[in-house]
Amino acid sequence: MKEFILSVFKFILFVGLYLLTNMGVNTYLNTNSLKVNNCKIIVIGDSHLMTGVNPNFADGLKNYAQSSEPYLASYLKLQKLLSGNSEISRVLLGFGYHNLSAYYDEKLLTNESSAIFNNNIQLLSANAFKGLDYDKERYLNSYLKKQCIYPQWGKKLYLGEFKITKSQKLKGDLNQTIFKHFYKDKSLLKFSDSFNLYYLEKIVNLCSEYNVKLTLVRTPTSSEYSRKVPRLYRDKYLEVCKAYIAQGVGVFHARENDDIFYYKDYTHLSTEGADIFTPLLINQINSIE
């Protein structure tokens, strides 16, 4: 019996040391500077830019957006990129109606938080969520899985990439999407003033600090979706854009036109749509350089 207890103790000790060693290695790796090659313009934000901006249309354009990315993660990612890459001259940040919504606050408490934590755990210490409600169990699970099981040599989980998608709008559920973005229990969600909009302001200030030009980009959505966006959110979007334009921030959004743009669903461009939208975006940027 003593030998069994001793064997169990040794096993637990070994596993504990293994996990702690990997945690220490990854903590060190997370503090390293981030260097990327041939990078003049970077795309950050959530899945709307991940599927909507094709980097193949411009030299030096890198798409690092990824699904369910809140502006907290975008801000921390941008800190890494700007501090280690002086050649970056412009940031394209996704900014749509849904980014104004406390829908993003709610994400931290739902199963969608797993994607946020898994993608960005190398950036997100527990202190990053100080004063915020978040799913602590899912955060811990992501931390153990992504930081303690094995060393993340050279792997930056928070750097997304352009995702190829097919045109299949009719497979989406429009009413469900509208409800998710703007409603909770049949009541209109508040604006994300203390979370997403707070970190949007920090992103604007960070770009100013590094003398990097910032453009807020709203990718086209289907006209059906646009018509159902609550008036309060459409007005708030224009108000925020106007305020940032006055500070020298660029804003770009193409008009929705279902005859021109092609969609993965009601709110995301497919690759065919991205191939039409991206040149328009690049032309706009070139015209103001």
User: Quick check: is 21 in a domain?
Assistant: no
Q: Is residue 211 part of a domain?
A: yes
Residue 18 lies in a domain: no
Per-residue pLDDT of the chain (289 residues), as tens digits, is 777 677 777 777 877 787 888 888 877 777 777 888 888 999 999 999 999 999 999 999 999 999 989 999 999 999 999 998 899 999 999 999 999 999 999 888 887 888 888 989 898 887 888 888 888 899 999 988 988 888 888 788 899 999 999 887 767 789 999 999 999 988 999 999 999 999 999 999 999 999 999 999 999 998 889 999 999 999 999 999 999 999 999 999 887 677 778 899 999 999 999 999 999 999 988 876 6
In a domain, 23, yes or no: no
β-partners of residue 218 are 253
The range of the structural domain enclosing residue 250 comes to 33-288
Q: Is residue 209 assigned to a domain?
A: yes
User: Residue 270 domain-assigned?
Assistant: yes
How many domains are contained in the chain?
A: 1
Q: Is residue 137 part of a domain?
A: yes
Sequence-ordered list of residues with C-beta below 8 angstroms from that of 10, at least 6 positions apart, any chain: none
Half-sphere exposure (CA, 13 Å, Cβ side) for 138? 17
Q: What is the pTM of this model?
A: 0.92
Q: Is residue 40 part of a domain?
A: yes
CATH code for position 130: 3.40.50.1110
Pairing of strands 250-253, 41-44: unpaired
